[in-house]
Structure 1
Amino acid sequence: MQLLGTIVNTAAIIGGTLIGFILRKGIPERMNKTIMQGLALGIMVLGLSEGIKSTNPIIVFGCVVLGGILGEFIGIEKRLEDFGHQFQKLLKNKGGNVAQAFVTTSLIFCIGAMAIMGPIQSGLQNDHTTLYAKSIIDGVSAIIFSSTLGIGVILSGISVFLYQGSITLLASVIKPLLSDPVIREMSAIGGVLIFGIGINMLDIVKIRLGNLLPAVFLPIILYMIHPFS
């Protein structure tokens, strides 16, 4: 079953979110804030570690600029937030900042080499090993994030299912486009966005990271126009 790895990954996020949300009730507000700040710092370090893997910073800068223009034109951030706000209304505002939790964790769970190569292995070889490993990481992360950000983390399971599921089903088509250099630069751009998540969580400045999402996929187009190493 090609989608088994993605289904397990989605279930791990949902299960982790529910566990974390239950545990959240016993965490004092002051401790919650400290944990959130610690998570933000950790996320920024993670973003930096991914970002420095780029061997061609010009590609990263160019894709971020072009991706930001495209994302602003489409209005991705607003659409994601609207989706989160609709879900929050169903919860009668009892689930924390659902839109923030949804956008933040969707970016974290969907960006990175494992989120690309895992679905490809599932689609081409019916090998779910990478996605099983990712499921453990995402499940534990979901517990932590939902204990601080709230129930909105559960919506990132939808993002993961649609994103990784699409890659799995299209694996035979997109594999030739995803060479090691392309994946490296996509991961580096993703690292920039992950670093931005930490900035948003610390309330340093509000970055519309959703509108920068197209930047992650632009290296594919650049490689088709002019291969890079």
Structure 2
Amino acid sequence: MIIGPYANSLGIILGSLIGFMLARAVPKRLHESMPMVFGLCSMSMAVILIMKFSTLPVIILACIIGTIIGELIYVERRINNAAAKVRKFAEWLSPGRQETVSQNEFLELFVALIVLFCASGTGIVGALNEGMNGDASVLYTKASMDFFAALLFSTRLGYVVAFIAIPQIIIQLSLAYAAILILPLTSEIMRNDFYAVGGMLMMATGLRICGIKIFPIANMLPALIIVMPLSALWN
């Protein structure tokens, strides 16, 4: 029975609601220091995943071509539009609670959180791992991390962070149940290249959360789709 994705989404929802209720009690210094820590954790896990690579040219090509595709089909713009609608919905439900964050800052953080919660290498690897052998330990670890991340960022963005649990659970359940069909068709080389590209996205996410560089993370997501076919063709 697949339970990891449910635990992960529950962690996001609980963290968001608790953070929303404790927003005024959280000291300002945590808003300044903890995002740096979450960004560091993301980048640290990214290094581990990137080091799994088998075919370096495939990693580079997947990131470049995937980003070009994402830019051409306006992936990040679509996510931004959806995030803006979510914000308006939250403002309608709870007037005044979103005014502490500007529209641009809200969109930058919200999109980064979508990638961190839904498309991180940890979540992808964890979902595939549970689907193949029933081991949910990776997703349990991610659930604890996402709980604290959701708690902190919901003190600034509001409980709209909880809405990210919807695409998160859909993606992880899809990966977990499809793993038994997908993984037998792949080689270890293809999987390692896939994890490495996931690590590249996690690195970009960490840099974005830390405010070092605003990468177009959502536009890079197609790289995760094309990396395995590229790896198969290359090898």
Q: TM-score, normalised by structure 1?
A: 0.81
- Residue 223 of structure 1: how far off its partner (Å): 3.3
SS class of match (2:82): helix
> Aligned residue for 2:65?
66
Question: What secondary structure does 1:146 align onto?
Answer: helix
CA separation of 1:202 and 1:223: change in aligned 2, threshold 3 A: closer
Q: CA offsets per residue over residues 118-141 of structure 1, 9 Å max, x none?
A: 334544555545433433333233
Per the alignment, in what secondary structure is the counterpart of residue 88 of structure 1? Answer: helix
Matches within 5 A, 1:131-170: 131-147=139-155, 150-170=158-178
Q: Which residue of 2 aligns with 1:116?
A: 124
C-alpha root-mean-square deviation of aligned residues, in Å?
Answer: 2.8
How many matched pairs?
A: 226
Counterpart of 1:105 in structure 2 is 113
The corresponding residue for 1:221 is 229
Residues 1:19 and 2:18 are matched in the alignment:
yes
Show structure 2 runs of 5+ residues with no match: none
The one-letter code sitting in structure 1 at the alignment partner of 2:10 is A
* Correspondence 1:94 to 2:102: no
Map 1:46-65 → 2, pairs under 5 A:
46-65=45-64
Q: Which amino acid aligns with 2:8?
A: N
Which whole-Å deviations, capped at 9, do the CAs of 1:121-164 have from their partners, x for residues lacking one?
54455554543343333323333443455434323212211111
User: For residues 14 and 101 of structure 1, do their structure 2 counterparts lie closer, same or farther at Cα, with a shift above 3 Å needed?
Assistant: farther
Hey, what's the Cα distance between the residues in 2 that align with 1:37 and 1:129? 25
Structure-2 change in CA distance of 1:119 and 1:178 (3 Å): farther
Distance 1:64 1:50 in 2: 15
Corresponding residue for residue 195 of structure 1: 203
| Distance of aligned partners of 1:181 and 1:155 in 2 relative to their CA distance in 1, 3 Å threshold | farther
In 2 relative to 1, CA 36–113 (structure 1 residues): closer, same or farther, beyond 3 Å?
Answer: closer
Shift of 1:34: 3.1
Q: Give how far 1:84 is off.
A: 0.8
The alignment status of 1:78 with 2:86, answered yes or no, reads no
Post-superposition CA distance 1:179-225 (Å, at most 9, x none): 43323222222222222223323444432110001112322112343
Structure 1 residues 20 and 179, CA, compared in 2 at 3 Å: closer, same or farther?
A: farther
**AA aligned opposite 1:25:** R
How far does residue 51 in structure 1 lie from its aligned partner after superposition? 2.5
Separation (CA, whole Å) in 2 of partners of 1:212 and 1:119: 20
Structure-2 separation of matches of 1:181 and 1:147 = 42
Q: Which amino acid counterpart does residue 66 of structure 1 have in structure 2?
A: I
Q: Percent identity?
A: 27
Give the 3-state SS of the residue equivalent to 1:54 in structure 2.
Answer: coil
Instruction: Provide the C-alpha distance between the structure 2 equivalents of 1:55 and 1:73, rounded to a whole number of angstroms.
Output: 28
Shift of 1:170: 2.1
Q: C-alpha separation between the residues in 2 aligned to 1:186 and 1:23? A: 38
Q: CA deviation at 1:6?
A: 1.8
Q: Which residue of 2 aligns with 1:181?
A: 189
Measure the CA separation in 2 of the matches of 1:107 and 1:185: 19
Kindly indicate whether the alpha-carbon contact (under 8 Å) linking 1:123 and 1:172 is maintained by their aligned counterparts in 2.
Answer: yes
1:190 and 1:125, CA in 2 relative to 1: closer, same or farther beyond 3 A? Answer: closer
TM-score (norm. length: structure 2): 0.80
Using the TM superposition, give the Cα deviation of residue 178 of structure 1 relative to its aligned residue in structure 2, in angstroms: 4.2
SS at match of 2:227: helix
The alpha-carbon deviation at position 71 of structure 1 amounts to: 0.6
